[in-house]
Amino acid sequence: MTQTPKNIAIIGSGLVGSLLAIYLRKKGHSVTVFDRRPDIRTIKFSGRSINLAMSNRGWRSLRKVGLEERIKEIAIPLDKRAMHVNDKPVYFQKYGKEGEAIWSISRGILNKKMIDLAEEAGAEFRFNEKVWDVNLPEAKIYTGETEKSEWKEYQYDIIFGCDGAFSRVRHKMQRRSRFDYSQDFIDVGYKELTIPANEDGTHKLDKNSFHIWPRGKFMLIAMPNIDGSFTCTLFLPFEGEVSFESIKTEEAARMFFAAYFPNVRKDIENLSQDFFKNPTSAMVTMKCYPWTYWDKVALVGDSAHAIVPFYGQGMNAGFEDIYVLNELMEAHGDDWSTIFEKYQEERKPNADAIAELSYRNFVEMSSKTADPKFLLQKKIEKWFSAKHPDKWIPVYSRVTFSERPYAEALAIGDEQESIMKEVLKMPNIESEWETKEVENKILGLLGDS
């Protein structure tokens, strides 16, 4: 269904705002994107960049507007995890079936490219323009230097709040009656570190792996960049015996890396310096509802649903919001009230599901990876799934390599969890699990569920 062109403002030129601008331009709308930051294309990066994992949902949203191949040119496929466990050689775990991979992509490079593409599509960008206030029923926004300075007023037909986890647009919606809002920080923070490329520009670790050093209460991960470097993220409690608080000097940082991550010893100088150069950041789950105001304002991406990053799905979920919005625009044409109503009804349960799954992954990674029962369960699941790939698709694959709703992945994951609880009660399961009896037990329980 075609739409009558509207005059639309998008607040935020992050990944979600810039992709939404491309979609809306393709529908013939006039689009202006506001960002409080300067144009990231004009900022000199120090050569280091945070990277993200793009998976099926993200690719589907890019494919719809013809961008999948162009973005794949700046991404690296990762088809397996490389597990770095102390006193053992590195071992690899395939992510999914043959040909399934997540893709490592630099946030900075991706965002610059998306802004270029949105501009090419005809969107106007207004950088260094912070939105301070929104008049929701009249779709007006107010920008200015500071909260107290004189503000400029702009009037639009529709406003999209793509302004991230601490959204100003949502802030305005929060003042309405019956607006639900919650925000939960976890007690673990993160810091970005770098492993530079070899002198000849090649990667120091396997380039097509997502590297993980699980260490109980903390962990290090690394993803490759196209320049040969790796961006690492150290997840560590803010407080406690081994924590950001307990590492106070570069020498302490060197000792920390040497003790816990011996196979990156060659890069300890770099890692220890980065440790003090780069900020420590917090992670939050933010939920809210409703996400829309009449036919005037809608939240999309992190402004509607910020999640902890342990499933690598935040951006993917935001891109999927846009995909769904587009389908609704095609189905309902100019009926923006219905588009917005159906958008929030469809996306909210899925956003809550991926928030829950991401939080569970955090708990799993930080407290269960050393638990023998948990490890046994994972082994049995893997064994059964290899035997019956049509009957047992692991939750990870349902989230990462499928486009079925997140809520479905969560529900099926819960069923699988209860089946495994029963299986783990079987006598002598610790020593005898690769048996016909266990297989039949699972098949039976699957039949019942």
Q: Which positions touch ligand FAD (CB under 6 A)?
A: 11-17, 34-37, 52-53, 130-131, 162-164, 168, 190, 233, 301-302, 309, 312-316, 318
Judged by CB, which is closer to ligand FAD: 175, or 425? 175
Distance between alpha carbon 197 and the CA centroid of its chain, in Å?
25
Q: Smallest Cα–Cα separation from 63: which of 344, 403, 406, 404?
A: 403
**DSSP tag of 144:** -
Q: How far is the CB of 403 from ligand FAD (least distance, A)?
A: 14
Q: What is the 3-state secondary structure (H, E, C) of 84-132?
A: CCCCCCCEEEECCCCCCCEEEEEHHHHHHHHHHHHHHCCCEEECCCCEE
| Tally of CB atoms within 10 A around 5 | 12
Q: Smallest Cα–Cα separation from 308: which of 349, 365, 371?
A: 365
Q: How far is the CB of 311 from ligand FAD (least distance, A)?
A: 8
Q: How far is the CB of 448 from ligand FAD (least distance, A)?
A: 35
Judged by CB, which is closer to ligand FAD: 332, or 348? 348
Judged by CB, which is closer to ligand FAD: 343, or 392? 343
State phi, psi for 312 to the nearest 5 degrees: 60, 45
Distance between alpha carbon 128 and the CA centroid of its chain, in Å?
26
Q: How far is the CB of 300 from ligand FAD (least distance, A)?
A: 7
Q: How far is the CB of 46 from ligand FAD (least distance, A)?
A: 18
Judged by CB, which is closer to ligand FAD: 61, or 377? 61
Judged by CB, which is closer to ligand FAD: 355, or 380? 355
Judged by CB, which is closer to ligand FAD: 35, or 267? 35
Q: How far is the CB of 236 from ligand FAD (least distance, A)?
A: 13
Q: Smallest Cα–Cα separation from 74: which of 42, 24, 113, 47?
A: 113
CA distances from 384 to 91, 198, 394, 423, 431 (A): 21, 41, 10, 12, 16
Q: Distance (Å, rounded) from C-alpha 136 to C-alpha 141?
A: 9
